[in-house]
Amino acid sequence: MPGPTVAIIDRRALGRETLTQALAATDARLRIRAFADIGEWERSAERGDTSVILLECGAAGHDHRPLGDELRALVAAHPGIPVVVMGESEDPRHVAEILGQGAHGYIPTSVSLSVAIGALGLAMAGGTFVPASALRNSGHERPECEQTVHSLFGLSERQGVVADAVALGKPNKIIAYELDLCESTVKVHIRSIMKKLQARNRTEIAFKLHAAKTRAA
């Protein structure tokens, strides 16, 4: 059975070739196709089997409209295909703007290939990847309802954050990156969370947290 198809849209020839080779070498299941801009992808006969789009920040169309316009139009025209944007900036305001245009994630160029692949997988599963740097600098606090639910189960603050990430379907590698933890530490937290919630698996963690938050709302 063929794996998911990643459409890389990057105006830089070297960037396209480097990403194609690197992603294929890191995960042999991926089928990689590269395009210079959105228009080239949309005209391609191979467009139909695209599982996720990895859009480089500077990959605007030939009319050189701002990325926000291009991204909004792309998401509106192809709502069934998640778009993940890649760029150098890690400014939380920039990341928030990108996500506000409908992207399913933002990958800064500072992350490893394994994290980038995890982010693409999260987007394909319906989640949204936010870089750890943006989370650390955003200044947002967790809603009081979430803190109450975490206290109800006896979860520490860190365990509560990990539990919420599990409930969103994030894999351990992504959780570790976002929280600046070792993957082994994430696994220890998840075992503790399962014990406190009396959950047998990640699905039950998500179900019990959702049910508790619904009651507390």
- Pairwise CA distance, residues 10 & 35, whole Å: 6
Tell whether the model's pLDDT for residue 163 goes beyond 70: yes
The pLDDT of residue 128 is 84
* Homologous superfamily in CATH for domain 5-136: Response regulator (3.40.50.2300)
Q: Do 5-136 and 144-216 come out as alike in CATH topology?
A: no
* pLDDT tier at 82, thresholds 50, 70, 90: very high
Domains in the chain: boundaries: 5-136, 144-216
Fold for 144-216, please state it: Arc Repressor Mutant, subunit A (1.10.10)
- Pairwise CA distance, residues 55 & 208, whole Å: 36
Q: Average pLDDT in the 12-24 region?
A: 93
The pLDDT of residue 111 is 85
- Pairwise CA distance, residues 64 & 83, whole Å: 19
pTM, 2 dp: 0.70
Helix (H) or strand (E) holding 170: none
